[in-house]
Amino acid sequence: MPMQPSERLRLLRERHIDGTTPLDDHCLAALVVGFSNDEAGALLDMSPHTYRRHISDLANRVLVPTGLRPGRHLLATWFWLHVEDCTAPAFLLISRDMVARRRK
């Protein structure tokens, strides 16, 4: 029997991570505002494959300890449940229109 939605949300709410990297923040911001892999890759100065791999790695790091199957949708849900703590830096990037990384 599938896990109840309330249980999924509880697991996501309880899952905190110790800090995100600047790259994590930019990738998360691009994900939750709906950029495609191609768009996010261009914004973040990386290939779409590299962006997709980074999102996959981040989803595994965040979601595997919960017992939930890692995926983009659950990672995005986790993001919105943690805008006041774990994902605050990424949320700030969105609110300031700074999702794109500065090229050096």
Indicate the CATH number of 19-95 among 3.30.460, 1.25.40, 1.10.10, 3.40.50.
1.10.10
Question: Which pLDDT tens digit goes with each residue over 21-75?
Answer: 999 999 999 999 999 999 999 999 999 999 999 999 999 999 999 999 999 999 9
* Distance spanning both ends of the chain, measured CA to CA: 50
pTM for this model (two decimals): 0.92
Show the tokens assigned to 58: 């981040």
Q: What is the DSSP string of 2-63?
A: PPPHHHHHHHHHH---S---HHHHHHHHHHHTT--HHHHHHHTTS-HHHHHHHHHHHHHHHH
Q: Where are the domains of the chain?
A: 19-95
